[in-house]
């Protein structure tokens, strides 16, 4: 059967008219439910010929494949209604499609210890740039975390509130500059130089005691590495003490206590 040019034009116009619309928007709620039910019944019991086969798009990206690029451009700016999100959430809730990928308590996520590449970090940064979280979203986030966060003594990282203790007068700008100069303006964890950062290097107290502001207990870190030291404190303390011992011949006892030499030329 061949369509006339006029018939083809009419079909094209009809498609453009319903483009991007849902069944409900086109036929109304009652009619759309009937259509969905008929489609569901017609597909019942049928086994897809592609079952068990890998998806055709596996391993392809919009940079390497024209089809993926077209799909990406077509979906750009598409807004999924909240009602659809809610239905999808209910459908997938509690379902696990593979015992291999199922997340279990105590398991580490795939990104643990791997981290994102610089290119991925840049893409994530551009996506979130300029975005502001609404008060409603903040409220939802707060409610979702309620009862899940261990506070104070219940948290394994709680050290009696030492993070709220004030610094001593000795921990001033002059002292910080001395430590940074000693470390050649490098982050002593990742090795990044101050010139590549937007702010000065942080000075971290190795044993987490803010009252002990001496060179043997302080080290230069970039902001990113400094944030990591809030967890697994014993690991970081030993790592940094071993590094300063190797580089500057500082001495520490086996339990991590600092041996400060008086009149030893430092």
In angstroms, rounded to a whole number, what is the distance separating the alpha carbons of residues 216 and 234? 16
Whole-angstrom distance, CA of residue 208 vs CA of residue 238 = 12
Contact 143, 137 (CB under 8 A): no
The rounded percent of the chain whose pLDDT value lies above 90 is 27
Closest CA to 203 of 250, 242, 232, 170: 170
DSSP state of 259: E
pLDDT digits (tens, 9 = 90+) for 119-174: 888 888 888 887 888 888 888 888 777 665 555 555 655 666 666 678 888 999 99
Greater confidence, 237 or 82? 237
Distance of CA 258 to the CA centre of its chain: 36
Which of 107-116, 177-186, 251-260 has the lowest average pLDDT? 107-116
The whole-chain average pLDDT of the chain stands at: 82
22-61 pLDDT, tens digit each? 767 777 777 777 887 888 888 777 777 777 788 888 888 8
Mean pLDDT of 213-219: 94
Cα distance between residue 148 and residue 146, in whole Å: 5
CA angle 241–221–110, rounded 5-degree value = 95
pLDDT of residue 265: 47
Question: How far apart are the C-alpha atoms of 247 and 261, rounded to whole Å?
Answer: 16
Looking at the predicted structure, is the pLDDT value of residue 233 above 70? yes
Which tokens hold the place of 198?
């937007």
R_g over Cα of the chain: 30
Regarding beta strands 202-205 and 218-221, do their DSSP bridges make them parallel or antiparallel, or are they unpaired? antiparallel
């Amino acid at each position: 059967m061949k369509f006339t040019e006029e018939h083809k034009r009419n079909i094209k116009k009809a498609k453009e008219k319903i483009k991007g619309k849902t069944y409900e928007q086109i036929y109304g709620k009652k009619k759309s439910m009937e259509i969905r039910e008929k489609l569901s019944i017609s597909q019942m019991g049928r086994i897809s010929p592609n079952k068990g086969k890998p998806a055709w798009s596996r391993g392809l990206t919009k940079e390497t494949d024209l089809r993926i690029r077209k799909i990406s451009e077509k979906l750009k700016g598409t807004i999924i209604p909240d009602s659809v999100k809610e239905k999808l959430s209910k459908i997938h809730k509690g379902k696990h499609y593979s015992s291999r990928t199922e997340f279990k308590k105590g398991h580490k996520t795939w990104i643990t210890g791997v981290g994102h590449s610089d290119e991925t970090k840049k893409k994530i940064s551009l996506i979130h740039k300029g975005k502001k979280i609404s008060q409603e979203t903040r409220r939802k986030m707060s409610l979702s975390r309620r009862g899940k966060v261990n506070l104070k003594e219940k948290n394994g990282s709680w050290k009696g509130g030492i993070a709220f203790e004030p610094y001593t007068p000795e921990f001033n700008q002059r002292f910080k500059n001395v430590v940074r100069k000693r470390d050649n303006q490098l982050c002593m964890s990742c090795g990044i130089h101050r010139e590549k950062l937007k702010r000065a290097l942080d000075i971290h107290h190795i044993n987490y005691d803010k009252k002990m502001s001496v060179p043997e207990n302080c080290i230069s870190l970039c902001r990113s590495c400094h944030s990591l030291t809030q967890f697994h404190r014993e690991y970081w303390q030993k790592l940094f003490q071993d590094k300063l011992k190797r580089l500057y011949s500082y001495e520490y006892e086996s339990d991590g206590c600092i041996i400060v030499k008086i009149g030893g030329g430092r």
